Structure 1
Amino acid sequence: MASSIDVQITTKKKQKPLQHELGFGIHFTDHMFIMNYAEGKGWHEPRIVPYQPIVLDPAAKVFHYGQTIFEGLKAYKTSDGQVLLFRPDRNFKRLNRSNERLGVPAIDEELALQALKKLIVIDQDWIPTASENSLYIRPFVIATEPALGVDASTQYQFIIILSPVGNYYPEGVNPVKIYVESEYVRAVRGGIGEAKTAGNYAASLKAQENAKEQGYSQVLWLDGVHRKYIEEVGSMNVFFKINGTVHTPALSGSILDGITRSSIIQLLKHWEVPVEESMIAIEDLFNAAKNGQLEEAFGTGTAAVISPIGELNWKDEKVLINGGNTGEISQKLYDTLTGIQRGALPDPFGWMVQVND
């Protein structure tokens, strides 16, 4: 595979948005990375080019059979001007696990990280420095072969785009309200639930739309077989503190192996807080809430980092968690993890990778 990356710098720089008007994923930087794949040739032609539309044949397989994978990670600028990435190697490893599940050729992870660093250096002026803002990174793969036969594509593009962002949820670090979905199913073990692919998110959109109409930020999914065991929120893994122990659904093959999730588990164990990965029945969780044993709940993910959960609604039965306030563990986790990510706190785990060294 070629390792040299061609660079074409734009002559037309965009106007940068004000930091308090960023929103999430609606502004994009001046450049993007692209690499092509062709059967018999492999991945080739890695290049950084001005941000631009993608031109595809109407028969490109991504449109018809959903063969696409994506990742999400962030870059941060420290007070002394360093640019840091949070565990990027884990993202590219997971990208390749998703690739394998969808029949897509593996990406060279070292080249992907090299390309990402170079792209960020070129567009580093886009990294916001205001508190709770960051540069969101979206690597993705699309099937580009123009053919309507139902089989894996023989052509692909691997692309990385960058977006300066604020908080994912309008509530910020304040508790969100979550609706427990009991009608629709997102994924089952043996399917593609553990892959980060568009189909998983397409399957969630109708339920999420219904939840928002009722005033809820996101949907909490139950397992697709028994319809009773908690899996994940649409954009987050979930944790529940019950009687002093933090519980999170075990990786079962139908939920995402979250990088923030694994980092939170590592942090909790470092603090000697009991953590259990197991099957959690929604009925047991609601009973714990009614008995006063459910002390905190929160979601974890790249976009939101830590998002406290203040209310759950399951079949029109509502429970308020910690009085609808942010819990002590949730706040400590948020402060610690974001402090490490921004270089304000020590990184005892070796998570952060410097870009502009």
Structure 2
Amino acid sequence: MTITFTVQPADRLPDPEREQLLAAPAFGEVFSDHMISIQWSLQNGWHEAQLAPYGPLLLDPATQVFHYGQEIFEGLKAYRRPDGAVVTFRPFAHAERFNRSCERMAMPPLPEAAFVEALELLVATDRAWVPEQPGYSLYLRPFMIATQRTLGFYGPSNAYRFMVIASPAGAYFQAGAKPLTVWLSEDYTRAAPGGTGAAKCGGNYAGTLVAQAQAQQQGCDQVVWLDAAERRWVDEMGTSNLFFVYGSRLVTPELSGTLLPGVTRDSVLALAAELGYTAEEGRIGVADWRADAESGRLTEVFSCGTSSMITSVGHVRSKDGDWTVGGGRPGPVTSRLREELTGIQSGERPDPFGWVHKIA
């Protein structure tokens, strides 16, 4: 499938104003000059692909996404390397996951080549918005919404709109930052077997806000989700996957259909094996987390995701008590994996997996 984009150039923000915004961008608050839009309908399939000035959308109040929540999204980053080259990280993996979300939410898949072409066009056009500072990036948000105008709930929408917007982002993890403190959610669950836990849809996030607020009330940075059936097994943390480190052995909760199959998670599994660690998927019980941390058998815990990359988890709070992992300090395995992964993205380390995708 070939998609031809029409281009409507935007009035670019003057260089001094853009540079001021790039100096310390708040995540998701500032956006680049352009956006991508592609329409889909039963009659025409994918059509009306365009690069246009970033701006508001005009949607009817009865547009289906407002009432029945048929919506999905992705998140990935573009990086500027010291030699000036701009790259993205594993865009085809994100395209593949996007289409898995489409399948679960009864939405039309977008060809992976078209997904990546849309990213390339937006990043190439708004190249000046990719920050130069180490650790900074241009965050890319592809998403799709149901656009049929109806309040009738007869089935999937007969029209959709795929879009991509971009937002400069600072370094999420600062050197020397203290590990996260997390709250075990026992009152709420994120997903249940047969649900939408493995899809990256907005409803999954809306349902987590009350638990995240509870975590903040407990003085915690993030919430950790447990399985819906027994409230015994660890699923994931907030919007990130979790890894448990036992010396040189890494374990991450297995993909059961209730947690998101993170691209960073998959990258860590491959990278850990390449570095000589044992990396595996399994089940982690809360009781084991606590007992192994207190005995010292569990040496580190870290989260991983596109936004936060790899971040140490040092303290756990729950209704049944608190405990600390690894003395509450970032561990050597966490630090090495973070350095290696960011090094691949920045070009400071070799890329044996072919993950980096250069923007022409």
SS at match of 2:265: helix
The reply on whether 1:29 has 2:32 as its aligned counterpart is: yes
Q: Which residue of 2 aligns with 1:40?
A: 43
Which structure 2 residues correspond to residues 125-140 of structure 1 after superposition, within 5 A? 125-140=128-143
Alignment TM-score, normalising by the size of structure 1: 0.96
Structure 2 portions without partners, runs of 5+: none
Cα distance in structure 2, aligned partners of 1:90 and 1:291: 38
**Structure 1 residues 53, 185: closer, same or farther in 2, change over 3 A?**
same
Cα distance, 1:2 vs. partner?
A: 5.0
SS at match of 1:94: helix
Which structure 2 residues correspond to residues 1-357 of structure 1 after superposition, within 5 A? 2-13=2-13, 15-16=17-18, 17-150=20-153, 151-168=155-172, 174-356=178-360
Asked whether the 8 Å contact 2:21–2:30 carries over to 1, the reply is no
After superposition, the CA RMSD in angstroms is: 1.5
Cα distance, 1:316 vs. partner?
A: 4.7
Cα distance in structure 1, aligned partners of 2:85 and 2:177: 25
Asked whether the 8 Å contact 1:173–1:307 carries over to 2, the reply is no
Cα distance in structure 1, aligned partners of 2:177 and 2:94: 24
Asked whether the 8 Å contact 2:77–2:139 carries over to 1, the reply is yes
Cα distance, 1:235 vs. partner?
A: 1.5
SS at match of 1:264: helix
Cα distance in structure 1, aligned partners of 2:216 and 2:174: 13
Cα distance in structure 2, aligned partners of 1:184 and 1:54: 34
- Code of the residue aligned with 1:11 in structure 2: it is D
**Structure 1 residues 172, 61: closer, same or farther in 2, change over 3 A?**
farther
Cα distance, 1:318 vs. partner?
A: 1.2
Structure 1 portions without partners, runs of 5+: none
User: Number of residues paired by the alignment?
Assistant: 356
**Structure 1 residues 172, 156: closer, same or farther in 2, change over 3 A?**
farther
**Structure 1 residues 124, 157: closer, same or farther in 2, change over 3 A?**
same
Asked whether the 8 Å contact 1:2–1:46 carries over to 2, the reply is no
Cα distance, 1:173 vs. partner?
A: 5.2
Alignment TM-score, normalising by the size of structure 2: 0.96
Cα distance, 1:167 vs. partner?
A: 3.4
Cα distance in structure 2, aligned partners of 1:243 and 1:171: 22
